[in-house]
Structure 1
Amino acid sequence: MALLVKQLYGLFNPSAPAPAAPADPDFADFAAAPNPAAPSHASNAFPGSSAAPTAAAGGLSSFISSPYGIQGRPYTKWYRVWERVTYKDFYQEFVILPILLVVVAVNVVGTQINKARMRAWAAAFVPLLEAEYAQVGQDKEAASSAGAPEQKLKQGKMSEWSTYATGRQNAAFTDVKISLHKRFNPLLWVFELVLSFLFESIPTPMERMLATTYVFDGKEKLMLPDATAGGNSSYDGFVWAVVHKDFMQQLRNDRYDLSLTATRDNAKLPEWATVMSESSEVTDALLTPELVKAIEQCGEDLEALIITDQPIDAPKKLNELVPRKRLTLTTKLPTTSTIPNLTPLFTLYLRLPDTLVQTAHFRPEALRKIRATREEEQRKIKRLDEEEKAEERKSASDKAKKEERERKLKGMGAEEQRKFLEREKAEERKRGQKKNTMRG
Structure 2
Amino acid sequence: MASLLAKYLTPPMPQVTPEYDGLEFRWKFLTFRPAYFTNELYFLGAALLYFVVFFVGKKANESRAYKWYEAHLPLYKAQFSRPATAEGLVQDGNSDFFAYSTGRRGLKSLHTVFTLRPRHDLFQLIYQFARGLIELDYKVHDSVELEFTFREPADKDTAVTGCVWAVVAKDEMKQLRASRWDLTFTKTTDHAALPQSLAVMSEFADITSVLFKPYGAFSLPAILSQPDVQPYFRSLSLTDQPRVRPEHPLASSERSKRLILSLRLPPSSSASATLPLVTAAFQLVDIIAGEGKLPGVRGGLHAQLRPETRNKLKKIRDEVEKEIREEAAKEKREEEEEEKAAARKKARDEKLSKLSAAEQQKALDREKKRLLRKSQGKVKMR
TM-score of the two chains, using structure 2 as the length reference: 0.77
What residue in structure 1 maps to residue 80 of structure 2?
A: 133
Q: Which moved more, 1:282-291 or 1:238-247?
A: 282-291
**What SS is found at the alignment partner of 2:308?**
helix
Q: Is contact 1:244-1:304 (8 Å) kept?
A: yes
Q: Which moved more, 1:281-290 or 1:268-277?
A: 281-290
What residue in structure 2 maps to residue 255 of structure 1?
A: 180
Q: Which moved more, 1:251-260 or 1:399-408?
A: 399-408
Larger Rg: 1
Q: In structure 2, what is the Cα distance between the partners aligned to 1:42 and 1:408?
A: 80
Question: 1:183-222 alignment to 2 at 5 Å?
Answer: 183-199=119-135, 203-219=138-154
CA positional deviation for 1:287: 1.7
**What SS is found at the alignment partner of 2:161?**
coil
CA positional deviation for 1:364: 2.6
What residue in structure 1 maps to residue 310 of structure 2?
A: 367
Provide Cα deviations, 1:90-126, integer angstroms capped at 9, x if missing partner: 6567656655555444444433433332343133111
CA positional deviation for 1:303: 0.6
Q: In structure 1, what is the Cα distance between the partners aligned to 2:327 and 2:235?
A: 32
Q: Aligned pair 1:307/2:238, yes or no?
A: yes
**What SS is found at the alignment partner of 1:210?**
strand
Q: Is contact 2:66-2:89 (8 Å) kept?
A: no
What residue in structure 2 maps to residue 291 of structure 1?
A: 220
RMSD of equivalent CA atoms: 3.5
Q: In structure 1, what is the Cα distance between the partners aligned to 2:129 and 2:38?
A: 35
Q: In structure 2, what is the Cα distance between the partners aligned to 1:346 and 1:79?
A: 65
**What SS is found at the alignment partner of 1:167?**
coil
Q: In structure 1, what is the Cα distance between the partners aligned to 2:350 and 2:373?
A: 25
- In the superposition, relative to structure 1, how do residues 417 and 365 fare at CA in structure 2: closer, same or farther (>3 Å)? same
- In the superposition, relative to structure 1, how do residues 422 and 174 fare at CA in structure 2: closer, same or farther (>3 Å)? closer
Question: 1:141-180 alignment to 2 at 5 Å?
Answer: 142=87, 152-180=88-116
Structure 2: which 5+ runs fail to align?
A: 1-14, 291-299
- Residue 121 (structure 1) aligned to one of 46, 50, 68: 68
CA positional deviation for 1:320: 6.4
**What SS is found at the alignment partner of 2:250?**
helix
RCO comparison, higher one (Cα < 8 Å, 6+): 2
- In the superposition, relative to structure 1, how do residues 190 and 320 fare at CA in structure 2: closer, same or farther (>3 Å)? farther
Q: In structure 1, what is the Cα distance between the partners aligned to 2:284 and 2:28?
A: 77
Question: 1:354-393 alignment to 2 at 5 Å?
Answer: 354-358=286-290, 359-361=300-302, 362-393=305-336
Among the aligned pairs, what percent are the same residue?
A: 29
Aligned length: 348
CA positional deviation for 1:214: 1.4
Q: Is contact 2:68-2:272 (8 Å) kept?
A: no
What residue in structure 2 maps to residue 280 of structure 1?
A: 205
Structure 1: which 5+ runs fail to align?
A: 1-39, 44-67, 143-151, 220-228
- In the superposition, relative to structure 1, how do residues 234 and 432 fare at CA in structure 2: closer, same or farther (>3 Å)? same
CA positional deviation for 1:300: 3.2
The one-letter amino acid paired with 2:98 is S
TM-score of the two chains, using structure 1 as the length reference: 0.68
Q: In structure 2, what is the Cα distance between the partners aligned to 1:260 and 1:131?
A: 35
Q: Is contact 1:244-1:300 (8 Å) kept?
A: no
Q: Is contact 1:193-1:204 (8 Å) kept?
A: no
